[in-house]
Chains A and B, each alone.
Chain A
């Protein structure tokens, strides 16, 4: 071992050892370190010899991941031993709450994840959910499920590929004009492009747009682009005057870009046509001070819109999009009524907030405006004129698919462009909305009677909850529908189906319940499942 000579005091000098660091790319280098030092200190020494900063280093020795607070000696490290190093993701910066009187900083340092073009890509990419979870999107979307969706896309790159390969998206990709018009419909984006002609050139170049879509479709390519951008950013930052250039880019391009694609302040609500989609979720600090008890006076009086720190409303709650500062009544968890309390119909908040059940139809007019938007009409026309994309849309949702398979007339109707045109006409929409409103008002009255008839309902009796589940499934692609109440015992829940199965000759009740639970009460699927089990 590399123990030093004893000094005058008789104590041995710190054991200096030569340790070999091996990176995953095969490169190897040696560092000298004190074996009594902590792993954290050792990482700092290693950082001096390579381009991996200490917080990103993950060190492995003899199959163990070294923890920062332990010493090297505690792991049995000796001189001439090899430690493996992996470059990990940088840990998230500790979020410290700023003081009430503190001025908000405008320019982020270039190394922060949101700075410069690299951060921009990161924030807008499928994996950048953490960067801005408050409903970020190029076209100003603001769905509460955005984080979940981005996580799904990040975990399953094939999903993104499939989405991009859909005929609808192909049509979109082949018409840069359409994309440009969608982006230019956002006044804030238009203002940003007016201020930065370079961005206009990007939008006017179809090949760049196509490359961008290609990158979105191919996760490996996206990763490579991000890597190149990061490298370019660090090169720019290291050059003289480079940091200032990055800061200017952040202030003039990225910050306005993010403001254009997310919610602005209350005053911006009218200027951003996509703001209405958010309901009350994208509000600024000043308006939410009633709900945020911790907000200080200086916070509320500052002119700049502070980020909304309120939790997102429960999309299943009966008043998800309505009350802003009002206290919400606690949900009745043990009653069945919560199931249909607020069907998450159109993928955002509940029907009520989306279609204006409580707001007197202002959102309904917005919906009509959206559908009458030339861009939207063109997209609808593309879908309607292409039966293949129409079929694909219908087959995405299992509920709709089953409905279509069992009802050929329905399929013919849906594929009839004239019928679709009538369905999307403002008058029809208005009628649908009024129907939905009356349904919601009836819901409270029928709920108690519903519980009683639940167990005694006949085979053909479709109860209201089933209807609501079907509606919610239609809107949200099947995955975001109303969750079933698990409190009802399965014998009661599937009483009708169990009776049917017994008539068919399946007498094992427990097995039947298992099959029905797995198929969400679908008798035909349960029969197939039971027969499959018997065959094994």
Chain B
């Protein structure tokens, strides 16, 4: 563990690997509201870079009953820098690129204002909230089961 000092006092800075192992365990145990899930793509990847996430479409929106799959890529500088997030399932959303499925960090507040203590679970939960936002909840969606 490395200790980092800030103006308000000392706070523990958890190294990348420990932090990702913690997130992996949370994913396995299914901690959270039960509508998002995530885990590692490749159990043999010692750097724990590639992750898969799913979001279950929120109620009373066009996304209800759909399961959206995403790919998250945590580079070496995670959690200092946010992971890159890409939808694998096709979705029509204001913050998602219609060709590639990439979540545009400039249009998605959580990535734009990233903080070290944010997690992948936070990203998925926030994306789910974004789906239920007024600008996205009624957008006509591509057929279910199509991918970028």
Contact = CB atoms under 8 A, between A and B. Distances in A.
B67 A82 contact: no
B28 A62 contact: yes
B56 A86 contact: yes
A81 B140 CA distance: 36
A26 B54 CA distance: 16
Contacts of B60: 220
Interface string B9-50: 000000000000000000111110111011110010000000
Contacts of B43: 76
Nearest to B143: A155
Interface stretch (A17-25, A163-171, A206-214, A386-394): A17-25
Interface of B: 27-31, 33-35, 37-40, 43, 51-54, 56, 60, 65, 67, 69-70, 138, 140-141
Nearest to B34: A22
Contacts of A155: 140-141
A156 interface: yes
A220 B138 CA distance: 12
Contacts of B37: 60-63, 84
Contacts of A60: 37, 54, 56, 67
Contacts of A401: none
A62 B39 contact: yes
B122 to A, nearest CB: 15
8 contacts: A20-B30, A62-B27, A62-B39, A62-B40, A63-B52, A84-B30, A89-B65, A155-B141
A156 B34 contact: no
Interface of A: 20, 22-24, 26, 28, 58, 60-65, 76, 78, 80-84, 86-89, 155-158, 220
Nearest to B29: A82
B35 A24 contact: yes
A158 B141 CA distance: 14
Nearest to A76: B43
Contacts of B140: 155-156
Contacts of A64: 39, 52, 54
Contacts of B69: 63, 65
A59 B57 CA distance: 14
Given A82-B29, A86-B56, A158-B138, A63 B38 contact: yes
A63 B56 contact: no
Contacts of A81: 28-30
Given A62-B38, A63-B51, A89-B65, A82 B28 contact: yes
Given A22-B34, A60-B56, 20 more contacts: A23-B34, A24-B56, A60-B37, A60-B67, A62-B27, A62-B38, A63-B52, A63-B53, A63-B54, A64-B52, A65-B69, A80-B29, A81-B29, A81-B30, A82-B28, A82-B29, A82-B30, A82-B31, A84-B34, A88-B65
B25 to A, nearest CB: 10
Contact of A58 (B34, B67, B141): B67
Contact of A61 (B39, B53, B138): B39
A62 B53 CA distance: 7
A81 B51 CA distance: 18
Contacts of A82: 28-31
Closest 8 CB pairs of A and B: A62-B39, A82-B30, A63-B52, A63-B38, A22-B34, A63-B53, A63-B39, A60-B37
A227 to B, nearest CB: 12
Contacts of B33: 26
Nearest to B72: A63
A65 B67 contact: yes
B70 to A, nearest CB: 8
Contact of A78 (B27, B28, B30, B70): B28
